[in-house]
Structure 1
Amino acid sequence: MKKHLLAALSLLIGVGSFAQNTPVNTVLLGQRTYTADLNDVWGYEDGNGNEYALVGVRNGFSVVDVTVPSNPVEQFFIPGSNSTWRDIKTYDHYAYVMHDFSSSPSNNGLLIVDLDSMTNPTFQFIYPKAIINTVEDSATRSHNLWIDENGVLYIFGADVGLGGALMFDLTNDPWNPSFLGMYNSSYLHDGFARGDTLWGAALGNGMVVSDVTNKSQPAFRAQWNTPSTFAHNCWPSDDNQTIFTTDEVSSGYIAAYDVSDFSNVSETDRFRVVPNNQTIPHNAHVLGNFVVTSYYTYGLHILDAQDPTWLIEVGSYDSSPLSGDGYDGAWGAYPYLPSGNILITDIQEGLFIFEANYTPAARIYAFVEDSVTGLPLPAAKVYLQADNDSVALDPVDAGFRRAKIGSFGDSAFVSLANYHPIATTFNYQGGVVDTVVFKMLPIDFSVEEGDVNALSLAPNPAKDFTLITAPRALADGDVRIMDMNGKLLYTEAWTSNSNTHKVALNLPEGLYIVEVQSGQTTWTHKLVKH
C-alpha cells in the first residue's frame, strides 16, 4: 500500500489530477490521457497474467496494458466512426465493440478483435444479421452489449425492430455470431443476462425482466419503474435476489430491489451521493457485497450492499474537475481485473487505474426501552460520543441506526426524565449488522425485596457480576437466573458451605429473576443488568 501511495503521489504531481473531494479507501495508481474524449471501458487478462484496459474512444477502440498501473502503455488503436457512445465486452480472447449514433457518414456495425496478439491484432467489422418477423435486417449501431456465461451476445438498443435485445451465439464461431432471437417488446438502453433471465433497463419504461430460455420467444417475467423513471443500467447480486439500478438523471439514485419473487418486486433502499447536489450516476457494477459505480462529475464510487435495505458509501475518488449535473466526467468502470485494480474512463481526463480497499461497513440498529415493561421510550435523549451528536429516535419504536466504515468502539449516553441515566459502550464491527438495546430503569422501581431472611444482591443494578448473599451458609444448593417470562437462562451449583456466591453476568441488559434453592427452601430476588 505504501509503495502504491508513493507512486500515486508522484503521478498526481506529474499529471495534475483535479480530484475535488478527499479520496475514501482508494488510491490512484496510474492515469493515461487521450486527445479524444472517452466513453466506456472493459478489462481483459491474457494467458500470461498481463492485464489490459479495453477503452472506448470517440473515434475508435484503444487497448492499454495496465499490468504496471503506474505506466499504462497503449498496445494498439483501431479507428472507428466518430460516436459519443462505444461499448465493449469480451468472450474468450475476443473483444466485441459497438457504437451508437455516429457523426460519420456511416456506422461501423460490430467490431470483433482477436486479443491473442497485442502487436498485430486481427479484427473485422461486421453487420450482425437478425430476422424479425421473417424479415432480415442488420444491426449497424447499438447502445450497449452484454455477453453471458453461456457465450450469448446481447446487443441492446440497436437499429433493428424496437431496439430491444438481439441475441447471438458466439460458441460455434466467435468471428461469425449466429442469430438466436430478439426481445422486441420495448427499447432496451442496457441490460444484463444470467442463466435464462434477461434484465433490461428500458429508460422511461422502467426495468423489464424476461425469461429467455427460448431465445426466439422471450417470456415476460416482471416490470417496474425506478425512482426517477429513467432506468439506465442494471446489475444483479451474485445470488440473483437483488438487482441494482441507476437513473441517469440529475440527483439520480442507485436503487436496490428485492427480486426474489417476480410477482412482488419491492424497492429495499435507494442512495445518492449527496442529496440534491445534481450528480448523475451512470454505470453500476456488482462485486460481491459491493456496488462499484461511475458517476459523471464525481468519479469512482463504492457502496457496501451486504444489507440491501441499507446501502452505505465506503469508497470514492473524484476523477473530474467538474461538479454538478451534466454528462461529463466518469463514464465507465471495470472492477473485475484479477489484481483487484479498478479501471475508470473519464470522458475528458482519460483512463484511471485505482487500488481500492473494500472496507465493509459496520451497521448498528439501536433501540431505547423501559427495562421493566419493555415498552419503547421515544422521548429519550441519546448522545453518541464518536459523532458528537444527539440522535433523533423513531417516534414509534424509539429506534435509530448508524453505519461506519471499519470497526471501533463508541460510547452512548441515554437520559430521560424519571429514569436512571445510562452511560455505556458498544462496538461497530465491519461487515456486521448488529442490534443494540438501551434498557432504562425507572427511578421509582425498587429491587429491594424480602426481610432479613431473604437474599441480597450487590451490586444491583449490576454490570459484570453480582454477589448473592443468602441468610445462612448453604451446604448445597443451586443458582438459577430467569427472564421475566420464567425462561431459564443460567444455572450452576451454589458455593458449598458458604453464604455468598459470585455470579458473572454474561447477559444482555434487562430485568431478571435470581433464584437460589437449597433443600426445601427457595429464595428469589429481582436483578437489573446494565
Structure 2
Amino acid sequence: MSYTNIKAPWWMLLLVLGTALARDNDFGIEHDDHGTHEPPPKGTGSALCVSGVSSGFPCRNIELLSRLPIADIGGGSGADSWGWKDAQTGRYFAIVARSNGTAFIEVSNPSAPLYLGNLPSTSGQQPWRDVKVYADHAFIVADGINGHGMQVFDLARLRDVSSPQTFDPDVLYTGIGSAHNIAINEDSGFAYIVGGDACSGGLHMVDISTPQQPRLAGCYSGDGYTHDVQCVSYDGPDSDYAGREICLASNEDSVTIVDVSSKSSPQMLSKALYPETAYSHQGWLDESMSLFFLGDEIDELSFGMNTRTLIFDVQDLDNPVFLGAHQHGTTSIDHNLYVKGDYLYQANYRSGLRILKIKRDPTVRLEEVAYFDTEPENDSLGFTGAWNVYPFFDNDTVLVSDVNNGLFVLRVALDDTADGPLNGAISGAWTAQGFNDQGLMLLVGETVSGPFVYFAWFLFLNGEPFWLTGAQAFQYGQDEVTIPTQRLSGLEFLAQTDAEATRLDIGAVNIHVHSCNELHVDYDFEGLGADELTFTRLAGVQGRACSD
C-alpha cells in the first residue's frame, strides 16, 4: 500500500508536531485531569438567542423581546433614547427621540410594550434629537431647529395614560434654541447643553434642581464646540479633584476635561489626544472613573479602518494617557456607548448593539461578549441602524433606538461564570472561520512545577508554511493566558543532525477560553500587526469532551 497520496489534515500534523515540540521545550507532558468537568448550564429560559438568531436578527447572548416600528411610535426617523423607572409604581418606560418628536412607551412588560403618546417637536424636524432624565422629568433638545429650546416634560403624567396622546411640554427653556445634545449630572442637578447656538457650542450649564424652573448657571467655551459630554461628581482615583464636578467633553478633535465646580469660572484641566483623529464623538467613564472609552464617529470613513473604540487612562485628570484602541471585527461606524458594571454597551449603527467586557489583567482590553444586529442587511459604512442604547434598567432589559427600525426591547444574558477555565478539556484542534487549511492546536499538560499550555499555529506567509509555537505556565482557575510566541525554521526534512531549529521571537498570543467550544485569540506579531480572532473546536481529545 502506498501512503504517498494520503492527505493528512493540518490538525493531525499539528498533533504530531506539538508533542515533539513540547518535549523539545523541556515540558514533560502529563495529561491534565484538573477541573475538566464543566458545570451544568444555568436555566436561562428564553434569555439567550438560539443558533445565533433571534426573530430573524443576528445575535449572541441577547434575545429580542419586542419591537415597535418607527411608524408605530410617531414616524420620522429614530434618534436618541433613554429610560425611566417610576420609583412610585415600579413601572418601566422607554423615551425615544425622533426627528419630529419624542415618543413615550411603557415597557414594564417588555414583551408587550405600550405606546403612550408623542411630544411633538417645538417646530420643524431634523435627524438630531436628544433626551435625558432627571427627577422624574425628561429634558429634550434638538439640533438644526432654530428656536426649539429645551422641552421639559413631567414623566409622572404617563402613570394615568390609557390610550396614545399628543402631549405638550410642561416648560420650554429658551436660553438656547438649537442644540445637539444634553447631559445631566443627577448627583448635582445640573444639565449641560452642548453643540448649541449659545456658549459658542460649548457647555451651556443649566440648574435643573427644580425641574420645572430651569435657569442658566454658567457657560464654558474655552475649547470651542462640544459634541457630547459626560459630567460627574468626581469620586475617582485623582485625590486632587475629590468631590469636584468634572466634565469629560468630546470636542471634535480631543477629549477635553473641565472642572465645572464653579459655574462662573470653569477651568480646563487637560486635553487627551489620540492618533488618526477624525471626529471625537462621545464617550463614557468606567465605574471606577479611571478609564474613559471614546468613539470617533468618522475614523472608519476617513481612514478605512474597522470599528474602533479608544481607551484612555484618566487616573490623573491633569495628564490623561491614551492607552490604545480596540479594533472590532465589524466595519460599521460607531455611535453612542455607555458603561454598566464591567461591560461596555455600544450602539454601532449598522452592526447594531455590541457589548464588550472590560478586561483589566494584565492590561486593559475589550472583548466582545454579546451583540444584536438591528440592521442585519449589512455592516457597511453609513448612518442608519442603532443610534443609541440604554442599558441602565435593573431588570436585564436593554433599549435600543434604531434610525429606521424603531425601538428594540432586548433581554441580555451576560453570565460572568460562562468563561470556561483553562484545563485539559480545551486540548485539541481549533479553527477560525474563513481560514481554510490553517489552524491552531492546543495541549494542556503538567510538569512537577504545575500546569502549562502549549500551542502550535499552522499558517502561511507568502505562500509558504509559517509555523508558530509557544508554551506558558498558568494556574488553575485562569480563563486566559498570554503566550510568548516563536517562529520555527532552519531544519531539513527528517535531518539526522545535532542542529536545532531557529527560534525567532515574533510577539505574543493571548488565548481566552470563552467556553469549551470557543476561544478568543488576540495576537500581536512584529511586522504582521495585531488582530483578534474567534476559534471554534474542530477536534478534541478522546475522553475529554465538553460534555464530560
CA shift in 2, pair 1:324/1:413, >3 Å: closer
User: Whole-Å Cα distance in 1 between the matches of residues 257 and 357 of structure 2?
Assistant: 25
Letter in 1 for 2:154: D
Structure 2 regions of 5+ residues with no counterpart? Answer: 1-43, 162-166, 234-244, 301-305, 433-437, 443-450, 458-468, 486-497, 499-548
Q: CA deviation at 1:311?
A: 1.1
CA shift in 2, pair 1:77/1:11, >3 Å: farther
The 5 Å alignment of 1:350-365 reads 350-360=406-416
Residues 96-126 of structure 1: CA distance to partner in whole angstroms, max 9, x if unpaired?
0111013xxx432111100112146662352
Aligned length in residues? 380
Aligned to 2:544: none
The 5 Å alignment of 1:225-304 reads 225-229=273-277, 230-249=279-298, 250=300, 251-274=306-329, 278-304=331-357
Determine helix, strand or coil for the equivalent of 1:2.
coil
Aligned to 2:227: 189
The structure number with the bigger radius of gyration is 1
Q: CA deviation at 1:270?
A: 1.3
Match of 2:140 among 85, 91, 97: 97
User: Whole-Å Cα distance in 2 between the matches of residues 294 and 232 of structure 1?
Assistant: 13
1:123 pairs with 2:152 = no
Letter in 1 for 2:365: W
Letter in 2 for 1:352: F
Determine helix, strand or coil for the equivalent of 1:311.
strand
Aligned to 2:66: 30
Q: Structure 2-normalised TM-score?
A: 0.63
Aligned to 2:394: 338
User: Whole-Å Cα distance in 2 between the matches of residues 208 and 362 of structure 1?
Assistant: 37
Residues 367-418 of structure 1: CA distance to partner in whole angstroms, max 9, x if unpaired?
xxxxxxxxxxxxxxxx9745587679xxxxxxx9xxxxxxxx9963569xxx
Aligned to 1:107: 147
CA shift in 2, pair 1:286/1:5, >3 Å: closer
CA shift in 2, pair 1:341/1:7, >3 Å: farther
User: Whole-Å Cα distance in 1 between the matches of residues 421 and 318 of structure 2?
Assistant: 31
User: Whole-Å Cα distance in 2 between the matches of residues 51 and 68 of structure 1?
Assistant: 8
User: Whole-Å Cα distance in 2 between the matches of residues 74 and 237 of structure 1?
Assistant: 33
User: Whole-Å Cα distance in 1 between the matches of residues 321 and 142 of structure 2?
Assistant: 34
Q: CA deviation at 1:29?
A: 1.1
Match of 2:373 among 318, 323, 329: 318
Structure 1 regions of 5+ residues with no counterpart? Answer: 129-137, 366-382, 393-399, 401-408, 416-420, 439-443, 445-530
Checking the alignment, whether the CA contact within 8 Å between 1:114 and 1:122 is kept in structure 2 is no
Aligned to 1:63: 104
User: Whole-Å Cα distance in 2 between the matches of residues 126 and 208 of structure 1?
Assistant: 30
Q: CA deviation at 1:243?
A: 0.3
Checking the alignment, whether the CA contact within 8 Å between 1:384 and 1:390 is kept in structure 2 is no
Q: CA deviation at 1:10?
A: 12
Aligned to 1:175: 212
Aligned to 2:117: 76
Determine helix, strand or coil for the equivalent of 1:116.
helix
Aligned to 1:503: none
Checking the alignment, whether the CA contact within 8 Å between 2:96 and 2:103 is kept in structure 1 is yes
Q: CA deviation at 1:252?
A: 4.2
CA shift in 2, pair 1:175/1:410, >3 Å: farther
User: Whole-Å Cα distance in 1 between the matches of residues 193 and 480 of structure 2?
Assistant: 40
Residues 473-500 of structure 1: CA distance to partner in whole angstroms, max 9, x if unpaired?
xxxxxxxxxxxxxxxxxxxxxxxxxxxx
Aligned to 2:268: 220
Letter in 2 for 1:88: V
Residues 155-179 of structure 1: CA distance to partner in whole angstroms, max 9, x if unpaired?
01110131101111111x2112122
Q: After alignment, is 48-57 or 300-309 more displaced? A: 300-309
Checking the alignment, whether the CA contact within 8 Å between 2:46 and 2:63 is kept in structure 1 is no
Determine helix, strand or coil for the equivalent of 1:281.
coil
CA shift in 2, pair 1:25/1:76, >3 Å: same
User: Whole-Å Cα distance in 1 between the matches of residues 283 and 205 of structure 2?
Assistant: 18
The 5 Å alignment of 1:474-489 reads none
CA shift in 2, pair 1:435/1:252, >3 Å: closer
CA shift in 2, pair 1:101/1:437, >3 Å: closer
Q: CA deviation at 1:141?
A: 1.6
User: Whole-Å Cα distance in 1 between the matches of residues 51 and 409 of structure 2?
Assistant: 10
Q: CA deviation at 1:48?
A: 1.4
Letter in 2 for 1:303: L
User: Whole-Å Cα distance in 1 between the matches of residues 182 and 204 of structure 2?
Assistant: 10
Q: Identity of aligned pairs, percent?
A: 25
1:146 pairs with 2:183 = yes
Checking the alignment, whether the CA contact within 8 Å between 1:11 and 1:30 is kept in structure 2 is no
User: Whole-Å Cα distance in 2 between the matches of residues 208 and 437 of structure 1?
Assistant: 38
Determine helix, strand or coil for the equivalent of 1:139.
coil
User: Whole-Å Cα distance in 2 between the matches of residues 190 and 6 of structure 1?
Assistant: 33
User: Whole-Å Cα distance in 2 between the matches of residues 429 and 61 of structure 1?
Assistant: 49
Checking the alignment, whether the CA contact within 8 Å between 1:234 and 1:243 is kept in structure 2 is yes
Checking the alignment, whether the CA contact within 8 Å between 1:227 and 1:253 is kept in structure 2 is no
Checking the alignment, whether the CA contact within 8 Å between 1:410 and 1:426 is kept in structure 2 is yes
